[in-house]
Each structure stands twice: as C-alpha cells, then as structure tokens.
C-alpha cells in the first residue's frame, strides 16, 4: 500500500514524501539479492577454476598450503565470514555511498532516509541492516511484510530500530509555509521588502541545506522562493530559486 508522509523541517516548510509500498520494496530487495547471488556465483566459479588449475577440484576442499581437517575448517570459516560481509556490507556500503540507495532501490526509484527527512547516516544504516539479517532468518521477511502492512509508515523491524523510512525518490514541498516569527518581528526589513521571518527562513535553509536530500532541498528552495519573490522590489527573473536565495543571503552578509 502506497502512503504519503508529511515532514515539517526546521525551516517550517512541510515536505511530502511518498512512502514506498510493500511491493516496490520487495522488488528492490529481489534485485539486490540477485546481484548478491551473481557475486557469489562469480566467486565460486573463480575458486573452481583455481582448484582445477591447482589440482584441488573442489572449491570447498583443503586450500593449498594447509593440511587436513584444520585447513578445510579454516577455509569454510572464511567463506562464512565472507558471506556475512557480503550480505551485511552490501547494503551499508551502497546506502552510504549512494545517499540511501542500494542498486535495487535505485532501480525502483526508492531511497532510505531518517525520520524527519534527514539523509541516512552510518549508525542508522548499520542498525537497520543488522536487524535485516534477523528478519531474513524469520521466514524470509514474512514477519517484516506483516509488520509493514500494519505500520502507518510502512516500516519493517529494521526501520523501527534505526529510525528510518523508505520513500519514493520524488519528495515535493507543500506550498503552505508556517510563520516563523512572532508579531513583533513582522516589521519589514528596509532595502528589499523582505520581512524578518523571511530572513530567518533563508538562514535556516542555507544552514541545513547540506544535510538534506537533494530533491527535498530543491523542493524547499522552490517553496521559499515562491514566498519571497512577490515581496522583492526587483524581479530577479534571471535567477533560479536556489540562486535567488543565495543572492539574498550574500546581499545581507
């Protein structure tokens, strides 16, 4: 089921996220698992070729240079560790490198973000993917699917633990902007027609822009520009929304 989630940022701008549904999330997971399987198959093929060349015809047999059961046990242990690193590290590495997206999520246009609309960080990614291993062992995500259907934010166990949500990569700002300043701060600022509340809005946006998802940052800039353009004494039609905000901030610095 697809649902929307409205998040109000520190700039008093509401951003609407379309939550990823059960179907799209499992299609993304299936794509990621297929990629992981291809990696495992490639490694096994390489080991088999190496074994054939070295005279050891089983990739799970005794590695060259070791002897007996100890060598076989060590080799199997290394394979188990490598499998864990692949299953766990795959998602963490991609989510941090691609700002909340694995290859499967990128293919389906999904993204992991933290509650409140913030980009995912290392701590949240590690937690949600450690819990993923537990979820995969519980009937291969069956319990996770049930919990997602019951959750208003389509969260699985890992999302609850890490404080994350999975959204479609098309965040949009809701046009309504809350008034940041009290009545005594509403006096117009001389020079360009903007009010103090507008100044605070611009300053907070620029201070927090780097921590926002790219689409959310653009959506907020568009909403702020729509608010301030009618008040300006010059049209600045040649500046896009972000450039306008930066120009106003520089002019008052």
What integer pLDDT is reported at residue 56 of this predicted model? 57
pLDDT in tens, 88-121: 889 999 999 998 999 999 999 999 998 877 889 9
32 or 209, which is more confident? Answer: 32
In 3D space, the residue among 193, 200, 9 whose CA is nearest the CA of residue 117 turns out to be 9
- Phi-psi map region of 18: left, alpha, beta (phi>0 left; psi -120 to 50 alpha): beta
Query: How many angstroms separate the CA atoms of 136 and 140, rounded?
Result: 4
What integer pLDDT is reported at residue 171 of this predicted model? 54
Positive or negative, the Cα torsion across 110, 115, 117, 123?
Answer: negative
Domain segments of the chain: what residues?
3-168, 178-251
Exposed, middle or buried by CB within 10 Å (0-12, 13-18, 19+), for 126? Answer: middle
**Picking from 35-49, 172-186, 190-204, 231-245, which range would have the lowest pLDDT averaged per residue?**
172-186
Query: How many angstroms separate the CA atoms of 74 and 82, rounded?
Result: 12
Segment (H or E) for 164 = strand 164-168
Task: Look at residue 18 and give its three-state secondary structure.
Answer: strand
Distance of CA 94 to the CA centre of its chain: 10
What integer pLDDT is reported at residue 192 of this predicted model? 62
32 or 234, which is more confident? Answer: 32
What integer pLDDT is reported at residue 2 of this predicted model? 58
Average pLDDT value for the chain? 78
**Picking from 36-40, 92-96, 102-106, 231-235, which range would have the lowest pLDDT averaged per residue?**
231-235
Average pLDDT value for residue range 5-19: 66
Q: How many residues does the chain have?
A: 253
Average pLDDT value for residue range 210-219: 77
Residues 158 and 132: beta-carbon distance below 8 Å:
yes
Segment (H or E) for 105 = helix 103-108
Average pLDDT value for residue range 28-35: 93
**Picking from 3-12, 70-79, 128-137, which range would have the lowest pLDDT averaged per residue?**
3-12
Band (pLDDT 50/70/90 cuts) for residue 69 is low
142 or 78, which is more confident? Answer: 142
What integer pLDDT is reported at residue 191 of this predicted model? 52
Place of tokens 């921590």: 211
What stretches of 98-121 show up as alpha helix (H) in DSSP?
103-108
Tokens of 209: 């822009």
pLDDT in tens, 114-145: 887 788 999 999 999 999 988 888 888 888 88
Band (pLDDT 50/70/90 cuts) for residue 180 is very low
Q: Per-residue pLDDT for 226 more than 80?
A: yes
Task: Look at residue 173 and give its three-state secondary structure.
Answer: strand
Tokens of 97: 């490198």
Q: Per-residue pLDDT for 10 more than 60?
A: no
- Contacts of 161-164 with C-beta under 8 Å, sequence gap 24+, read 161/127, 161/128, 161/131, 162/114, 162/123, 162/124, 162/125, 162/127, 162/128, 162/131, 163/114, 163/115, 163/124, 164/112, 164/113, 164/114, 164/115, 164/120, 164/124, 164/128
What integer pLDDT is reported at residue 173 of this predicted model? 47
What integer pLDDT is reported at residue 186 of this predicted model? 37
Residues 90 and 36: beta-carbon distance below 8 Å:
yes
What integer pLDDT is reported at residue 179 of this predicted model? 41
């Amino acid at each position: 089921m697809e649902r929307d989630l409205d998040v109000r940022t520190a700039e008093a701008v509401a951003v609407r996220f379309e939550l990823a549904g059960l179907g799209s999330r499992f299609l993304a997971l299936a794509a990621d698992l297929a990629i992981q399987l291809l990696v495992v198959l490639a490694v096994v093929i390489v080991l088999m070729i190496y074994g054939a060349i070295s005279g050891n015809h089983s990739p799970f047999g005794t590695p060259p240079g070791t002897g007996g059961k100890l060598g076989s046990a060590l080799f199997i242990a290394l394979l188990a560790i490598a499998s864990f690193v692949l299953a766990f590290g795959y998602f963490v590495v991609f989510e941090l490198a691609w700002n909340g997206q694995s290859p499967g999520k990128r293919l389906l246009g999904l993204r992991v973000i933290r509650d409140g609309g913030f980009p995912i960080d290392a701590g949240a990614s590690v937690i949600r993917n450690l819990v993923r291993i537990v979820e995969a062992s519980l009937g291969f995500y069956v319990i996770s699917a049930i919990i997602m259907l019951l959750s208003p934010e389509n969260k699985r166990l890992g999302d609850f633990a890490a404080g994350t949500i999975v959204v479609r990569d098309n965040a949009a700002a809701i046009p309504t902007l809350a008034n940041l300043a009290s009545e005594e701060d509403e006096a117009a600022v001389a020079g360009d027609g903007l009010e103090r509340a507008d100044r605070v809005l611009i300053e907070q946006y620029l201070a927090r822009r780097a921590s926002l998802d790219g689409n959310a940052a653009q959506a907020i800039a568009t909403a702020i520009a729509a608010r301030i353009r009618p008040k300006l004494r010059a049209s600045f039609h040649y500046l896009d929304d972000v450039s306008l905000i930066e120009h106003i901030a520089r002019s008052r610095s």
